[in-house]
Amino acid sequence: MIAVIPMKPLAHAKSRLAAELDPLSRMSLAANMLRRVLQATTGASLSEVWVVGGEERVCRIALQRGACWQAERGRGLNAALQWAFERAWKVGRAALYLPGDLPFITAGDLRELVATSGNLAKIVLAPDRHRRGTNAILAPVGTDFEPALGPDSFQRQLSRAGKLGLPVAVCERLGLSCDLDTAEDLKAYRRREPALLSKLLAEGGELDERRSS
């Protein structure tokens, strides 16, 4: 199975947190959440991990964590994912979409996602905590399932799989449901883990020199 993690350039990441964090803090946050996601994929022993998009700093993080980096393909998130999924299927591998902003993700979440697929026999969708967005898609070889992320994507993709007659299952796990995009997300997650933001900003250290300059 090949995991696909799409990324923006760090300078453009987490713009909806602009009222909460300065630009450098938002860059650090995005970089360190990506590190957490990559750490989880390593613990889950996935065959390959592709980080798609971003820039030099994203590439460096991916390579440091044993992932491959691919320049952004297509126009927009869904086009980039479709390109990556088709490439994975062509080499006989299931494709797994993961966002790069899951602060609570663990290797156990990914192992459960794979188990839910019934030995890669089903498409698996993981909803966000509101059950509106989609925070993971596992698409086995032969399903040719087209990612369609965006507003209310979870129900739309469930319906699409049903209309196509494709077997589909749902995996709900804390680490997969909690993506961090908004001030409301940040407030909710800090209630769960008060020191979360401090930890996320301190991990990695890649941007420390710029922060102190």
CATH of the domain at 7: 3.90.550.10
pLDDT > 90 in the chain, percent: 86
Please choose, from the candidates 21, 33, 49, 154, the residue with its C-alpha nearest in 3D space to the C-alpha of residue 104: 33
The two three-digit tokens of residue 182, written as one number: 């908004």
Domain that holds residue 94: 2-212
Q: Which of 45-59, 69-83, 171-185, 186-200 has the lowest mean pLDDT?
A: 69-83
**CB distance 73 to 79 below 8 Å:** yes
pLDDT in tens, 120-168: 999 999 999 999 999 999 999 999 999 999 999 999 999 999 899 999 9
pLDDT in tens, 44-60: 989 899 999 999 999 99
Longest CA–CA separation in the chain, Å = 57
Report the number of distinct structural domains present in the chain: 1
- Give the start-end residues of each E strand in the chain: 2-7, 48-53, 68-70, 95-97, 123-127, 134-139, 168-170
